[in-house]
């Protein structure tokens, strides 16, 4: 096989690998959006269950209250023959039928079990029977048959009916509380799936960008090795075309995902916090990607530009930041994960740190041998105790430090958080040339 045909074969293979990587990223993002929708749907279902449970519990209490009030009035009237006691009885008599109808209506809006339907029928039958028994005793008393009325009241049938009614209402209330508890647990499970999937998506995007850039670099080196001096320009043009194509597809994919996320949350205000958080992560990846175009091992991005680009959206006359350090270029394999770390620190400073209370941020770095030491210092945000819980941001920074081959240490001082980032640099000219 001639070098030319071998070169074409390699280009086609690399192109298919790029398409596969982009397809994996798209599937992961779609999965994230599906999980976000499931979380929103679970929260909506929980709110609806709360409303249904409240309505049903209210009507159950109304039924119980009507029966108790009516029984109290009936017994008071039969014992004292004072018609004033009939007022409580009549109020309960007026309340029972509307309460039973509203209970039926509330049950129609819920996916009921066979036992729930049986209990509703039982409650209605017992309430009807109890009020029929009370109506009979009051009627007998109105007819002057005092002894018959009191005999009716003292029978065990009325007491047993009342006890069965209380038990049925109590069981119905326990079922509704269990349904509400199940809905709450389902919402918690759905929310718990978002962060792991988001972390996996972040790692997949980082790995895909790094792998795609390596593929472009390998293609360029293979073309240089295989092509003759006459074909060198053509080989470089092909490698550049592949790089631009990959970059174009990645940017389009980011734009599509951001648009989907924003449109998804537009008509659902309750999902704004979730969609905004996802959008911030995706924008951080896009920012890191835009400043890291080029070969992995070739200096492609200024450390100063990366820091300033990350702080720029929030930096102002009130939110100040001091940036000091030599002009150093970093390879793409370090720029992307370092950009994620800087974005996480900036977001934390705005939400919880120095910039949330009008403080300042100082970022400085210096090169010592084959290592760059970057110090992020916040001033003006008093920290009383170190947080005990490690959130997703901490896991993201730990993972990113492994990506760029360095380390991250955080100190929670009285004046504010202090972060020390150390990343190795290869033995190459990483400083920008002096301008004359």
Within 10 angstroms of residue 356's Cβ, the number of other Cβ atoms is 15
pLDDT value at residue 432: 45
Across 194-308, the runs of DSSP E, i.e. the strands, are 301-302
- Token pair in block for residue 107: 């049950």
CA-closest candidate to residue 107, choices 91, 85, 90, 122 = 122
- Residue 297: its pLDDT value, please? 44
For each of the chain's 436 residues, which pLDDT tens digit applies?
Answer: 455 455 556 656 666 766 776 777 677 677 767 766 667 776 777 777 777 778 788 888 888 888 888 778 777 777 777 778 778 878 888 888 888 888 888 877 666 778 887 888 888 888 887 777 777 777 777 777 777 767 766 666 677 787 888 888 888 888 888 888 887 887 777 777 766 767 766 776 676 666 667 766 666 676 666 666 556 566 666 655 665 666 667 777 777 787 777 777 676 777 677 777 677 667 766 665 565 554 444 456 788 988 998 888 888 888 899 999 988 888 877 887 888 889 889 988 888 888 988 899 999 999 988 899 999 999 987 666 666 666 777 788 888 888 888 899 988 888 889 999 998 986 544 444 443 3
Which 3 state secondary structure label does DSSP give 342?
helix
CA distance 356 to 423: 28
pLDDT at 233: 61
Give the three-class secondary structure for 320.
strand
**193-230 b/e with 16+ CB inside 10 Å = b?**
ebeebbeebbbbbbebbbebbbbbbebbebbeeebeee
8 Å CB contact between 381 and 416: yes
Catalogue the E-assigned strands of 348-406.
360-368, 371-379
Sheet with 407-412, side-by-side order of all strands: 320-325, 360-368, 371-379, 417-424, 407-412
Angle (CA) 212-224-246 rounded to 5° is 20
CA distance 33 to 397: 23
- Supply φ then ψ for residue 364, to 5 degrees: -140, 155
Distance CA 429, CA 412 (A): 35
Block residue for tokens 């997703």: 392
């Amino acid at each position: 096989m001639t070098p030319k045909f071998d070169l074409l074969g390699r280009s086609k293979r690399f192109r298919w690998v790029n398409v596969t990587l982009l397809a994996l990223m798209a599937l992961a993002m779609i999965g994230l959006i599906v999980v976000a929708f499931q979380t929103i749907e679970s929260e909506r279902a929980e709110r609806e269950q709360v409303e249904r449970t409240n309505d049903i519990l209210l009507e159950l209490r109304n039924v119980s209250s009507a029966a108790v009030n009516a029984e109290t009035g009936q017994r008071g009237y039969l014992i004292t023959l004072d018609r004033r006691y009939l007022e409580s009885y009549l109020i309960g008599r007026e309340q029972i039928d509307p309460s039973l109808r509203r209970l039926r209506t509330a049950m129609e809006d819920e996916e009921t079990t066979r036992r729930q339907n049986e209990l509703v029928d039982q409650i209605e039958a017992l309430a009807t029977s109890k009020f029929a028994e009370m109506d009979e005793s009051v009627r007998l008393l109105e007819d002057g048959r005092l002894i018959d009325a009191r005999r009716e009241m003292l029978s065990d049938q009325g007491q047993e009916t009342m006890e069965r009614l209380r038990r049925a209402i109590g069981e119905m209330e326990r079922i509704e509380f269990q349904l509400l508890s199940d809905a709450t647990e389902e919402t918690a499970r759905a929310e718990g799936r978002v962060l792991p999937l988001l972390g996996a998506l972040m790692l997949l995007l980082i790995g895909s960008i790094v792998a795609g850039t390596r593929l472009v670099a390998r293609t360029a080196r293979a073309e240089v090795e295989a092509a003759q001096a006459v074909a060198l320009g053509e080989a470089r043009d092909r490698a550049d075309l592949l790089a631009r194509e990959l970059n174009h597809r990645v940017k389009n994919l980011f734009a599509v995902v951001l648009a989907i996320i924003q449109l998804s949350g537009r008509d659902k205000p309750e999902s704004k916090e979730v969609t905004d958080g996802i959008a911030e992560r995706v924008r951080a990846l896009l920012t890191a990607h835009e400043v890291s175009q080029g070969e992995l091992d070739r200096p492609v991005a200024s450390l100063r530009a990366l820091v300033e680009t990350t702080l720029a959206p929030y930096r102002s006359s009130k939110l100040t930041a001091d940036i000091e350090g030599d002009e150093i270029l970093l390879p793409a394999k370090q720029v992307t994960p370092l950009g994620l770390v800087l974005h996480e620190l900036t977001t934390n400073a705005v939400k919880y740190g120095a910039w949330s209370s009008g403080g300042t941020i100082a970022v400085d770095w210096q090169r010592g041998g084959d290592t760059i030491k970057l110090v992020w210092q916040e001033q003006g945000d008093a920290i009383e105790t170190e947080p005990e819980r490690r959130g997703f941001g901490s896991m993201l920074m730990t993972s990113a430090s492994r990506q760029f081959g360095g380390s991250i240490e955080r100190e929670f001082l009285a004046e504010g958080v202090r972060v020390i980032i150390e990343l190795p640099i290869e033995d190459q000219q990483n400083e920008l040339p002096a301008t004359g």
